[in-house]
A and B are shown apart, each in its own frame.
Chain A
Amino acid sequence: MSVPIEITDLRVAYESDVEILRGVNLCAAANTMTAIIGPNGAGKSTLLKGVAGVAPVTRGEVKLGERRVEGLPTVDLVKAGISFVPQESSVFGQMTVAENLRLGGWHRRSERDWLNQRVQACGALFESIRPYLERKAGDLSGGQQKLVEIARGLVGEPSLLLLDEPTAGLSPVMVREVYRELARLKERRSVTVLLVEQNVREALEVADRVYVLAMGQNDTEGTAEDVSERLESIVRNWMSREGSGVVS
C-alpha cells in the first residue's frame, strides 16, 4: 500500500563539518510521482540517500504516512516499505539476475511463493533483461545492470520508491524501457515515487509534482506543467549560481 511522505528541514552531513543538505522540505501525496531536479551538487541524490538511511541525517524529520522514519537503520526502512535504487552500481555481480531479484524481497524471504511470483513478475518487466535471468548480473552491460537494480527495487512491493538517476548511462532504448515502466507505475497508482533525474524533460513528462533544489536547499517547486513552463528561467537561475552546494 502506497503512503505519503513528508520531509521537513532535512539536513545531511557526511562529516560533522561538511553539510550537504541544509534544510530541505518536500511533501508528496500517496501514489504520486515527484521529480527532484537541480544542478550538480544541489543535494538531490543526498536527499534520497538521507531518506533511504544510507546518508547520515543530522536534523529534520521524515514522515512516512504517520510514522517518523528518519535515522532508522536501512533494515527497518525497507521493512517500512522504502525501496532505494541508488545511482551508484549496487548490483550483485557474481550472482545471477534472478538471485539479484530474489534479494530484493529479502525482508519477506520466508514467504517463498510470494517471492517466487514477485521474482517472475519483476524479471519480466524489462525486455532488455528478460532473457538473461539465469546469467550472472556482472556479465550484463552497465545499462542492463541498472535495469536489474530497478526491477530488484520493485520486488518487495514498496510503498515508497526512491529512484536516483535511473537512466544515467543507459542507451536510448533502455531509457524508453525505464520510462515506460515508470508510466505504468504511475498509471497503477500503487507506489509513491521520488525520482531524481538529469533528463529533466523526460522526468517532467511522468511527474505529478516537481521540486527544484539548489545548493542543498529548496529552490522552487510546482506541478510538472508549471515547472515545464518555467524551466528556461529555472535553468538560467542555476547557471547564474556559483559553487556546488557543498558548504564547508
Chain B
Amino acid sequence: MSAGADHGTKPMMDQLIVQSLILGLLQGGLYALLAVGLSLVFGILRVVNFAHGEFAMLGSFAAVFAVTSFGMPAWAALIAAAAAGALVALITNVVVLRPIYLSRMRQKGEYTIIATFMLSQFLIAATTVLFGTTYRNLPGLWESNLNFFDYVYLSGNRLVAFSAAIVMIGTLFWIVYRTDTGRAWRALTQSPLGASVVGIDIHKYANYAFLVSGAFAGLAAGLLAPLMFVFPSSGVVALVKAFIVVIIGGMGSIGGALAAGLLLGVVEVMGTIFVASGYTDAYGFALMIAVLLLRPAGLFGKMGRAI
C-alpha cells in the first residue's frame, strides 16, 4: 500500500470509528432504558422478572395500534407504549407476584421466576392469537437522516430515541436520590428488613417500582419500534438484551445499567463493523461471559446493588 493510500485510509478509519462509537452509544442508550426497569425491580424486590420483555412487547403493540387504529401522532404513541407497559407491569405485581410474597411457602424467589416465565409465555401466546404474527412497523418522531459536518451520519429517530432514553434515566436518578419514593426504594434494596421495621409500605413501593419498570420497558420498545419490527415474540430479544445489560452492570444498579447499556451498544456495533457483521448478538454474549468470569457481581460490583 502506498503512503498516499495510507493517508487516505487513516482518516476514513477514524471516521468509521467515530461513527460506530456514536451509533453504539445511541443503541446502548435504548438498551439501558430497556434494562433499567429490570434492574430496579430486582434491586428492590429480588425478583428476576422473565416477563419484562413482554412489558416492552405490549408497549410497542400499544404504540403501533395508537398510530394505526386511532390515528394518534407518534409522540402520543410513545405515551401509549409507556402506559401499556406500566399497566401490565402493575397487574403482574398485584395479581401474579404479590400472592407469592404474601404466602408462607419456601423458595419464593424460585416461584417468582417460574411465575414470570409462565406469564411471559402466556403473553406471547395471547398476543399471537389476538394480533397474529405479522411484523409491524411504527413511524418515528424524526424521519430524516442527519449529516454532521460530512463526518457523522445519523438517523433522526435514533437521536430522538437516545435523547429520550437519557432524559428518562436522568429522571429516574432524580427520583431515586431526591424523592421519598427513591429513599424508600433505596432502603428496600439495602435492607428489606430495615425498610419493614421503619414502616415503609413495601407493597406500595413495589407497585411504584413495577409501574416505572413497565413504563420504561414500554417506552424503550416504542422508541425502538421505528428502528425494528414489532411482533409477538419481540419481547424475547428485549429481555435477552436487558439481562445482558443487568448482568454486566451489576444486578440492582441503575448507574450500572446505564454504563453497561452504553458499553453493550458500542461493543455490538464495533464488533459488527470491525470484526464480522453476522455475529451482533454474539458480541454481547461474549462481553457478558467475560464479565461473569472476571467480575461476577458486574462491573459495578457490590457498590452497584444499592441502586
A interface residues (Cβ-Cβ under 8 A, vs B): 13-16, 52-54, 56, 73-75, 77-79, 83-86, 88-95, 99, 103-104, 106-107, 109, 149, 152-153, 156
Contacts and interface: CB of A to CB of B under 8 A. Distances in A.
Contact of A95 (B106, B186, B200, B303): B186
A106 B191 contact: no
A94 B194 contact: no
B110 interface: no
A106 B199 CA distance: 7
Contacts of B105: 15
Nearest to A76: B199
B199 A92 contact: no
Interface in B261-307: 303, 306
B197 A52 contact: yes
Contacts of A104: 198
Contacts of A91: 191, 194
Contacts of B190: 92-95
A91 B198 CA distance: 11
A89 B197 CA distance: 12
A65 to B, nearest CB: 18
Given A94-B306, A103-B198, A106-B198, A88 B104 contact: no
Contacts of B184: 106
A126 B258 CA distance: 40
A88 B193 contact: yes
A235 B193 CA distance: 32
A103 B106 CA distance: 30
Contacts of B187: 92, 95, 103
B150 interface: no
Contacts of B104: 13-16, 56
Contacts of A106: 184, 198-200
A109 B184 CA distance: 12
Given A15-B104, A16-B104, A54 B191 contact: no
A93 B186 CA distance: 10
A104 B180 CA distance: 13
A89 B200 contact: no
Contact of A75 (B180, B201, B306): B201
Nearest to B303: A94
B183 interface: yes
B197 A90 contact: yes
A106 B187 CA distance: 11
A73 B180 CA distance: 20
A163 to B, nearest CB: 12
B196 interface: yes
Nearest to A108: B199
Nearest to A52: B197
B255 to A, nearest CB: 12
A88 to B, nearest CB: 6
Contacts of B194: 90-92, 103, 149
A19 B120 CA distance: 36
B111 to A, nearest CB: 14
Contacts of B191: 89-93
A99 to B, nearest CB: 8
Closest 3 CB pairs between A and B?
A78-B199, A90-B194, A94-B306
A93 B303 CA distance: 10
A48 B258 CA distance: 42
A56 B104 CA distance: 8
Contacts of B303: 94
Nearest to B106: A15
Contacts of B199: 74-75, 77-79, 106-107, 156
A74 B193 CA distance: 11
Contact of B196 (A74, A83, A153): A74
A204 B293 CA distance: 53
B186 to A, nearest CB: 7
A152 B198 contact: yes
A109 B198 CA distance: 11
A56 B103 CA distance: 10
A39 B199 CA distance: 30
B252 to A, nearest CB: 11
A79 B200 CA distance: 11
A223 to B, nearest CB: 30
B180 A78 contact: no
A232 to B, nearest CB: 35
A156 B198 CA distance: 9
Nearest to A14: B104
Given A93-B190, A149-B194, 6 more contacts: A74-B196, A75-B200, A78-B199, A86-B193, A92-B186, A103-B198
A53 to B, nearest CB: 8
Contact of A103 (B183, B201, B306): B183
Contacts of B201: 73, 75
A54 B196 CA distance: 8
A227 B183 CA distance: 44
Interface in B177-219: 180, 183-184, 186-187, 190-191, 193-194, 196-201
Contact of A78 (B183, B193, B198): B198
Nearest to A53: B196
